[in-house]
Structure 1
Amino acid sequence: MHSSKVVFRSLGLCLLAVISMTGCSHNEAASQKQGEGPPVEVGVVTVKSEAVPVTTELPGRIDAVRMAQVRARVAGILLKQLFKEGADVNEGDVLFEIDPAPLHAIYDSAKANVAKAEANLTQAQAKADRYKNLVEFNAVSKQDYVDAVATAEQAGAEVLAAKAALETASLNLGYAKVTAPISGKIGKAKVTEGALVGQNEATELAVIQQMDPVYFDFTQSSTDVLRLRQALKKGNLQSVSPEAVKISLLLEDGTTYANEGKLMFSDISVDPTTGMITLRAEFPNAERMLLPGMFARARLEQAVNNEALTVPQRGVARGPNGTATVLVVDADNKVQSRLVQAETAVGDKWVVSSGVKAGDRVIVEGVQKVRPGATVKTVPFVESEKQEASAQTTPKAN
């Protein structure tokens, strides 16, 4: 009888243990199902305002600072080409030589005419001086004296005309050697030796372009200019002086040109056909990487937004339709999804115009581990940790 009680008591204890284990297992499953586990740790950045440049990308083309057409200024047969196509030339270098023989003949003839005119002047002046003394004694008539003086003056005018013709002949003889009007890079020759040039017009022989520095001419919509000026007037943006404007150049292959440029001017009128305003910047081009006619895009800093809200790019997710969202941790450490307007990138950050405010905590590390509504544990995301991780993943240059 006693042994039977012991058996029943043992069975009862076992049954209680099984029930207790079953209850615990059920509670754990329910707890896991409801998401009541320990909160996930995420790295957050507190949104704050900072000064951010207002940057615009505008298309345009490279232009030479100076361009000169080399032309034949006298008629004749082209004898020599004295430059290498595509080479750098200096102002005053002889580029072509036109046959000077006919020009020499004209020069010699003009020189002889000067000598003849001067001889006539000497004779006429001597006669006028002699008549001046004779007219006082009535040895010659006053009319003869007046005629002698007029003849001397006419001879003097002929000397001046002959000297002018001689100077013209000398200039034309000098034009037989065609020189570079400016320093720069010369293109291909547009005529060859043996061609008759300058017969009825100043024949174009070649083109020289100054390549360092170069101009970048680009356009901006007048609507954008008005919008910018209104924002400056309201105080939303701070103006930047023209000499402080930063301009960088994005080339056709997507690379950024190594040297920054400076803004030269903006046009004072709007093109009525396009509604655009023309701007010009100047860039150094010592390596001749920028060529006239090349297409590029200027990244222009036109103002400063002192109250811009920024979010690290790694904290912004893009949907299939291009919409941008961020995960924000509220005061109860709950995760919220926010739709934001993030259209301008500055370095590794997006400038956010709506969707968040100063003081919001945006998740930038551990985004993949959480979902909206989850409770999280926040820790500040330190920028140096991000830079160190980037340095570890970036291969070192040899």
Structure 2
Amino acid sequence: METLSKITHSIKQNLVLFISLAAMVLYSSCGTSNAGNGAGAPPPPELPVITVSAQPVTTYSEYTASLQGTRDIEIRPQVDGYLEAINVDEGAYVHKGQVLFRIDARPYAEQLNTANAILLSAKAALANADINVKKLTPLVQNNVISDVQLQQAKAAYDAAAANVAQAKAQVQSAKINLDYTRVTAPADGFIGKIPFKTGSLASKVQVEPLTVLSENKTVHAYFTMSEVDFIKFKETFAGNSIQEKISHMPAVELILADNAPHPLKGKVELAEGQFDKTNGTISFRATFDNANGLLRSGNTGKIRIPSISSSSLVVPQEATFEVQDKVFVYALTDSNKVVGTPLTVTGTSGRFYVVSKGIKSGDKIVYKGIDRLRDGMVIKPTVVPADSLLKTASL
């Protein structure tokens, strides 16, 4: 029994020693881990920072526009008849006076012949009436016949003279109608669609014109402004009246459908007198030179109106992020902490935002690496020269 008791006591001592050693190892392991965590904490991220400054900026407002030639002239027949010839093709450039269509002239040539014959007959009757007047005049003077006969002869002469005048008018009318069988261009321009063919019947009362001639050495670009844009326009440009404000507007650009600018700038000339009640817009017109004929009636594009600001805050778009359709930047505080700051954006300028509220000149913002940031984080700023980024831009 004494031997068993000694064995049991020895086992208990060994168990206590094992537990003590295990506890010491566990404590040592935890201590080492905690010490390691404290010594290995990562340093603040090093990120580029720029200083916001005011810059001269030219911003642009864009409006959808439709183009029309200076005049779009409907070419219509002035006489009825069959089209004998079509001397131009669709899209051709023609000059004033050039013959475009020929209408069968034979009926009108015969009308002229008839009118000339009537004129000759009327002239003969006038000559006969003149002879009677000259014959009766001395007889009346010598009291051979009564004055009544002479007055009758003079009245017949006047009627014959009137018939001559009427016959001359008929001749002129017949000549005009004969000339109308040659349909000529009233101005230089481009020929539009020709819906008729040789042999088609042309009529003065037909609904559809023979074609449309676009006179487009200059073109008009028509565009509309909303009421809000119109108020902004009035506030932007100097002048006591709308026409004065328009006269102070700079030259405008025409951006074509392929986003390429028209090589020549234009000038806004007039505004419609009132707003359209249906859509609440007011119309403007800009005029562009088109000597090379690149622009055609029916083209579409955008009018770009510049507005120059001598001092505006600009922020690189890559330094911003969006939350619920609002634009933010990470502003840097004195303690190198970053704070998400909302901006009021008034426009874009290339890869820059034009800002009116949220930051001010001299504030520092994080330029890159913003996807790794959270509010309140501390960073190590690296200053990037603003002049290399914030240059004068155009909206």
Same fold (TM over 0.5): yes
Residue 248 (structure 1) aligned to one of 243, 250, 253: 253
> Structure 1 stretches of 5 or more lacking a match?
1-22, 234-238, 388-398
**Residues 327 and 158 from structure 1, CA distance in 2 versus in 1: closer, same or farther, beyond 3 angstroms?**
same
**Residues 300 and 232 from structure 1, CA distance in 2 versus in 1: closer, same or farther, beyond 3 angstroms?**
closer
Q: Which residue of 1 aligns with 2:383?
A: 379
Matching of residues 1-398 of structure 1 within 5 Å = 29-30=37-38, 33=41, 37=43, 40=46, 42-48=48-54, 50-53=55-58, 55-198=60-203, 201=206, 204-229=209-234, 241-242=246-247, 244-286=249-291, 288-301=293-306, 303-319=307-323, 321-365=324-368, 367=370, 372=375, 373-384=377-388
Counterpart of 1:154 in 2: which secondary structure? Answer: helix
Counterpart of 1:190 in 2: which secondary structure? Answer: coil
**Residues 203 and 177 from structure 1, CA distance in 2 versus in 1: closer, same or farther, beyond 3 angstroms?**
farther
Cα distance in 2 between the residues matched to 1:229 and 1:218 = 16
Structure ID, larger Rg: 2
Instruction: Give yes or no for contact 1:73–1:202 (8 Å, CA) kept in 2.
Output: no
Q: What letter matches 1:311 in structure 2? A: V
1:27 offset after TM fit, Å? 7.4
Cα distance in 2 between the residues matched to 1:203 and 1:73 = 13
Instruction: Give yes or no for contact 2:274–2:282 (8 Å, CA) kept in 1.
Output: yes
Instruction: Give yes or no for contact 1:42–1:363 (8 Å, CA) kept in 2.
Output: yes
Cα distance in 2 between the residues matched to 1:45 and 1:343 = 20
Counterpart of 2:115 in 1: which secondary structure? Answer: helix
Counterpart of 1:210 in 2: which secondary structure? Answer: strand
Counterpart of 1:97 in 2: which secondary structure? Answer: strand
Cα distance in 2 between the residues matched to 1:70 and 1:281 = 26
Q: What letter matches 1:222 in structure 2? A: E
Instruction: Give yes or no for contact 1:47–1:362 (8 Å, CA) kept in 2.
Output: no
- Cα displacement string for residues 96-134 of structure 1 (whole angstroms, at most 9, x for unaligned residues): 111111111110111122222222222222322343333
1:148 offset after TM fit, Å? 1.8
**Residues 103 and 39 from structure 1, CA distance in 2 versus in 1: closer, same or farther, beyond 3 angstroms?**
closer
Q: What letter matches 2:171 in structure 1? A: L
Instruction: Give yes or no for contact 1:74–1:202 (8 Å, CA) kept in 2.
Output: no
1:354 offset after TM fit, Å? 1.5
Normalising by structure 1, report the TM-score: 0.77
1:353 offset after TM fit, Å? 2.1
Cα distance in 2 between the residues matched to 1:232 and 1:67 = 32
Counterpart of 2:312 in 1: which secondary structure? Answer: strand
1:44 offset after TM fit, Å? 0.8
Cα distance in 1 between the residues matched to 2:277 and 2:97 = 42
Instruction: Give yes or no for contact 1:76–1:199 (8 Å, CA) kept in 2.
Output: no
Instruction: Give yes or no for contact 2:122–2:164 (8 Å, CA) kept in 1.
Output: yes
**Residues 231 and 254 from structure 1, CA distance in 2 versus in 1: closer, same or farther, beyond 3 angstroms?**
closer
**RMSD value over aligned CA atoms?**
3.3
**Residues 117 and 140 from structure 1, CA distance in 2 versus in 1: closer, same or farther, beyond 3 angstroms?**
same
Instruction: Give yes or no for contact 1:121–1:159 (8 Å, CA) kept in 2.
Output: yes
**Residues 342 and 128 from structure 1, CA distance in 2 versus in 1: closer, same or farther, beyond 3 angstroms?**
same
1:53 offset after TM fit, Å? 4.4
1:270 offset after TM fit, Å? 1.2
Q: What letter matches 2:328 in structure 1? A: T
Instruction: Give yes or no for contact 1:43–1:363 (8 Å, CA) kept in 2.
Output: yes
Instruction: Give yes or no for contact 2:246–2:270 (8 Å, CA) kept in 1.
Output: no
Normalising by structure 2, report the TM-score: 0.78
Identity of aligned residues (%): 28
Cα distance in 2 between the residues matched to 1:98 and 1:165 = 20
**Residues 97 and 219 from structure 1, CA distance in 2 versus in 1: closer, same or farther, beyond 3 angstroms?**
same
Cα distance in 1 between the residues matched to 2:252 and 2:204 = 48
- The number of equivalent residue pairs is 356
1:329 offset after TM fit, Å? 2.6
Cα distance in 2 between the residues matched to 1:305 and 1:26 = 59
Q: What letter matches 2:38 in structure 1? A: A
Q: What letter matches 2:94 in structure 1? A: V
> Structure 2 stretches of 5 or more lacking a match?
1-30, 239-243
1:223 offset after TM fit, Å? 3.6
Counterpart of 1:139 in 2: which secondary structure? Answer: coil
